[in-house]
Amino acid sequence: MGPIENEEKLDDVLASYKNIREALSGLSEIITINFNEKDFYHAAAVDNLKALHDNVLEILKASFTPREIRMRLREVEYDEKEAEKVFPL
């Protein structure tokens, strides 16, 4: 695979990552609406959503070189900070 195809593939993967992150954020909002934040189910659901988010990042890191990931994640750094409001690290 040439550099252009690899870059296009990475673009597609990062677009999918953004969509997944937005979906997880939406699910988190639904959970927050339906459960009190002190409720066990709320905490368990948020923990599971965070685990999904972390695993998606791990898959992304395993699919491309660290340099490629670093360069691209810098491009979405602002979005990551927004996601951290929902999925604190």
Mean pLDDT along residues 74-88:
68
The one-letter amino acid code at 54 reads D
In this prediction the pTM is: 0.67
Alpha helices, H only, 1-89: 3-34, 40-63, 66-75, 77-86
The per-residue pLDDT for 88 is 63
Mean pLDDT along residues 12-34:
87
Asked if residues 56 and 20 have their Cβ atoms less than 8 Å apart, the reply is: yes
